Structure formats: C-alpha cells, structure tokens
Amino acid sequence: MSRCPTCTPNSSQRTEIATNHISAYTAQTKNLRLTLIDITFCGKKGRVCADTGSSQSIVGEKMYQAKGNRTLLGTDFLSSAGLVLDVKNACWYFWDNPTHKYSFGKELDTPRPWLRICPVTPANKERGKVKV
C-alpha cells in the first residue's frame, strides 16, 4: 500500500463508486467432452480427468480423501509427466512419442474409486511407476 498522500488519499477525500448488478447463468449440455485418461499410477488403476486449469484448487483437503470422487490432473502434473492433450481429436500422448496416441476414456455412470497420486519424477516414469 502506498504512503503517498496523492496515491492514498484519506477517507474524507475518497469518492463512492456505484457498482452494477451482475447476473451469472450456467448452461448444461449432454455433449460434454471430458478429458478422461485411464492410468496406472504407483500400482493403482484409475480414470482421471485432465484439468486445463492451474495447480491450485478451491476444494478442501477432505475432497481428496473422499471416496467416489474423480481425480483431477492439474497442468503442473501434465507438464511434469510430459502429457500432451489433443482435445480436438479426443486423445493424448507423451511429448517424446507423438505418434503413439491414447484415446480419452468414456464417461461412466458409476463413480470410480479415488486414486491417490504420488509424485511424478523422471525416475518414477523410468521405473515403471507411471504406466498407461
């Protein structure tokens, strides 16, 4: 915060600003294309949804311990593992082998067991802990 009297005027010099009302709406479609990936990670098989957002999450820690929730792979994980998403063609591949492509998984009606994620390192990938 600035201590300059020009940049930070005292409260008697402040001007009230009117705000506009904002309406937000959502829409749902049955043609939702999810980036679902079937993986085996640290010996656990699961179906995960690749997240195109950041590595930060607004959910609490309890979500990660809940059964029946889907796992989200953040962009930090995708980058570390070398995964490239081809959303247009509904597939993904490793950056160093773009000719070997894997199709996204199909959406299931039943909830999948929660997959606990362990750190991805080049050593883990070479040791076979990261498999597709």
Q: Look at residue 18 in the predicted model and tell me its pLDDT.
A: 56
Q: Look at residue 68 in the predicted model and tell me its pLDDT.
A: 55
Q: pLDDT digit of tens for each residue in the chain (132 aa)?
A: 455 555 555 555 555 555 555 555 544 445 455 667 777 766 777 776 666 554 444 344 444 554 555 556 677 777 888 888 887 888 888 889 999 998 877 665 444 444 444 445 555 444 444 444
| β strands within 32-78, DSSP E | 36-41, 44-50, 71-73
Closest CA to 43 of 102, 113, 128: 128
Residues 27 and 30: their CA atoms lie apart, in Å, by 10
Q: Look at residue 99 in the predicted model and tell me its pLDDT.
A: 92
Is residue 72 within 8 Å of residue 82, measured between CB atoms? no
36: its two tokens:
């679902």
Find how far residue 49's CA is from the centre of its chain: 7
Q: Is 8 left (phi over 0), alpha (psi -120 to 50) or beta?
A: beta
